[in-house]
Each structure stands twice: as structure tokens, then as C-alpha cells.
Structure 1
Amino acid sequence: RGRPEDMNPEWWDWYDDCPSPDADPRSPAKKIWQLITE
């Protein structure tokens, strides 16, 4: 999937470095990852 164009800029670095929700133990990060990938 391509990355959502409406994704917040501050998420780009995290998204690029985080291939899966399991890569980041933070719950908010998991929620964000699920939100942008659904």
C-alpha cells in the first residue's frame, strides 16, 4: 500500500522506521499504525 497523503508530517519518520506495529511498543503508535494502514 502507498502511504496516505493526508498523514501528519511528524509521522513520516516514525512510519518509515516502523515496518509493523510490533516494532514500536507504544500503544499510541500502534493505534496510529493501524489507523493509517486500514
Structure 2
Amino acid sequence: MQDSKETSEETVNWQTPEYVVVETALEVTAYALTDR
């Protein structure tokens, strides 16, 4: 079970380039600022 989870996490990390993470973070930040 744990091995499958680790494999899934590795797959997600491999499919998620840094720029996608940064873009998502910026979108979340913008939403938070707009929501205030």
C-alpha cells in the first residue's frame, strides 16, 4: 500500500514541472488577495 502511494507521488512530481507549481501558487495567491 505504502509503495503504491510513494509511486503515485513520484509520478505526480514527475508530471508536475516547477513552472506549473509556480503558476498554481501565483493563481492561489492572486485569488487569496482578491478574496480579501
TM-score tier, shorter chain, comes to 0.3 to 0.5
Larger radius of gyration: 2
Report 1 or 2 for greater relative contact order, CA contacts < 8 Å, sequence distance ≥ 6: 1
**Greater share of helix:** 2
TM-score (norm. length: structure 1): 0.34
